[in-house]
Amino acid sequence: MKTAPARSSGLPSLRMRTLRFTAWRSIVTRILFVNVLALMVFAGGLFYLENFRARLLETREIELLRQGEIIATFLNRLPPAEGVDAVREFSTSRGTRVRLYDAEGTRIADNWANPAVSRFQLEDPTTAGFRRQSAIAIDRLVDLITGKSDLPPLVRPQTDNRAAWPEADAAARTGEPQTFGRQTKDRLVVLHAAIPLERNRPNGNYPVVMLEVDTPDVIDLVRRERGTSFLVFLGALAFSLVLSLYLARIIVAPLRQLARAAHRVRLGRAREVVIPRLPNRRDEIGGLARALGDMTTTLRQRIDATEAFAADVAHELKNPLASLRSAVETLGRVRDEATHRKLLALIDDDVRRIDRLISDISAASRLEAELSRTRLQAVDVGALVASIASAMTAAQRLPEEMKLTVDVPRHPAIVAADPDRLAQVVNNLLDNALSFSPPGGTVSLTVTRRGGSVDLTVEDEGPGVPPEARLSVFERFYSERPSAEDYGRHSGLGLSIVRAIVEALDGQIMVTDRMDGRPGARFVVTLPTL
């Protein structure tokens, strides 16, 4: 036993009734991401300060080494006893500590031992205030992010001799200057430089002078710049967030309103949906809102036109069908041969009329879709009109000795059109003019160039079109026909097709009285030139 597949009811599913916006793909998220990404690039510049600090420390280390070499050169020229006194009296504005170790590694002089010498003071980081503690925390975070390794900690030895300082011991053994950096608990860098003296080496080691200096100015400068940059970053971040929210409000909110309105139109609620037109917006979103509003209005008009067209089709088909049914019902009861033939002729006319109606209705219903796919090309209206008139005359399609005159310009009258559709316009207008003209009458075709347009004029000698009907003649199934014309010969769609084609070509069509004062109608089609 097979289960029949479920049929769709044709109504939108419940899942499609709600319009949702994905958070990660929303314009709001993208605006925030772009703005914050730019700020992150700016924040990355904060880490440039680490390179700046490294270069400052490197420069300060070279300075200390040069200063140590100068002191060593000075001490080499003095007797050892005078050199010891000179070191004890040495003082600088930065509080540089100078120690002198003999060849055995014993400290024999230290300028910090002299109370008169300026010196820096190490602070206990556990007693530092909030600003220093936060600065230390930020230093640790930056070092962690940049992957920078910490310097060895500064540990004061209980016995201050050369062996307690690896750089001093290396300088004594190798005779080459040595530098080294250490870090205090509050992240301050202390630089050391050990320079050997050119003296006797009783045990194979040189006497060494070692300089030690703190760099609080470098660290404070970096911290100040980092703090200033961080404050600027916070201000820019706040401004960026406010700007992003503002952009989201003026861009995303109206777009979502328009999307919801369009979604409701798609669900078949076009009549009850009001598209926000945003008249105060003079930007692209305002243009989009007004375009959507115009599109919805056009959609409603087309829906109304489709409904009216369907009603007109039903009305036009009912008349021949009613006549056909009456004739068929009567045909079975009639015994008179003449009446029988008349009924058969009536049935044949009704069938032909229904066939014409169906053909014209099918052509009219496909016209709009075909026009939207038509590719325009350059067409000479004068040559096209002359060709159609010549073919009609050669095929003897002019009824009852009627005349057809053609007046076209010598120079080409070029417009952008589809040749087949433009020919359909000319044929429909000619057919309409011939049907209204009396026997022996004249139909005139005229093509003129006027500025940036081309006028195609068709004049007949019929009764003309009264002013109150000059708009109605272009409506579908307009039924004001000549009294002598066979009923049902025309479907009333010819002029409506002409108007649809002309408007699709950005042209205009109108009907007036003849310019010479004689009776008749004058149809004028105006198309823009290339």
Q: Is residue 197 part of a domain?
A: yes
> If you write DSSP's letter for every residue of 12-63 in order, what string do you get?
PPGGGSS----GGGSHHHHHHHHHHHHHHHHHHGGGHHHHHHHHHHHHHHHH
Based on the domain organization, do 62 and 189 belong to the same domain? yes
d(CA 426, CA 390): 13
Cα gap 209→100, rounded to integer Å: 4
- Examine the fold and report which residue of 335, 350, 370 is the final residue of a domain before the chain moves on: 370
> Alpha-carbon distance 264 to 271, whole Å?
10
Q: Are residues 142 and 190 in the same domain?
A: yes
Based on the fold, state whether residues 313 and 461 are members of the same structural domain: no
103-107, 160-164, 485-489 — which is least confidently predicted? 485-489
pLDDT tens per residue across span 241-281: 777 777 777 777 788 888 888 877 777 655 666 777 777 77
Residue 28, pLDDT score: 63
67 plus 140 within the same structural domain: yes
Number of domains in the chain: 3
pLDDT recorded at residue 294: 81
Say if strands 377-380 and 403-407 run parallel, antiparallel, or are unpaired: unpaired
Name the one residue in this structure whose structure tokens are 């347009």.
453
Q: Looking at residue 66, what is its pLDDT?
A: 93
pLDDT single digits (tens) 377-399? 999 999 999 999 888 887 666 77
CA distance 110 to 88: 6
- Kindly state whether residue 38 falls inside one of the protein's structural domains: no
pTM: 0.47
In a domain, 256, yes or no: no
Asked if 336 and 290 sit in the same domain, the reply is: yes
Between CA 475 and CA 499 the distance in angstroms is 9
CATH code of the domain covering residue 108: 3.30.450.20
- Do 487 and 442 sit in the same domain of this protein? yes
- Residue 84 and residue 182 in one domain: yes
**Domain ends where: 309, 340, 370?**
370
Residue for token pair 């930020």: 138
CATH code of the domain containing 349: 1.10.287.130
Query: DSSP string of 305-343?
Result: HHHHHHHHHHHHHHHHHHHHHHHHHHHTT---HHHHHHH
Q: Are residues 363 and 440 in the same domain?
A: no
* Residue 471 belongs to domain with CATH number: 3.30.565.10
pLDDT, residue 277, reads 75
Comparison of pLDDT for 67 and 128, the residue scoring more? 67
Domain final residue pick, 302, 335, 370: 370
Query: Residues 347, 419: one domain?
Result: no
Please give the helix or strand (H or E) that residue 526 lies within, else none: strand 521-528
**Shared-domain flag, residues 207 and 348:** no
Residue with tokens 């000795």: 401
22 belongs to a structural domain: no
- Mean pLDDT for the stretch of residues 420-436: 89
Average pLDDT over residues 116-145: 61
The rounded distance, in Å, linking the Cα atoms of 518 and 441 is 12
Question: What is the three-class DSSP state of 159?
Answer: coil
Region of poorest pLDDT, from 136-145, 150-159, 249-258: 136-145
The reply to whether 503 falls in a domain is yes
Choice among 4-13, 123-132, 310-319, 506-515 with the minimum mean pLDDT: 4-13
List, in order, residues 6 or more apart from 237 with CB less than 8 Å away.
Answer: 36, 39
Range of the domain at 171: 45-226
Instruction: Answer whether residue 74 is part of any domain.
Output: yes
What is the average per-residue pLDDT within 495-510? 89
- Residues 353, 378 within the same domain: no
In a domain, 144, yes or no: yes
Please tell me the least confidently modeled range out of 40-49, 125-134, 316-325: 125-134
Q: Which amino acid is at 69?
A: E
Domain membership of residue 21 (yes or no) is no
Q: Are residues 378 and 517 in the same domain?
A: yes
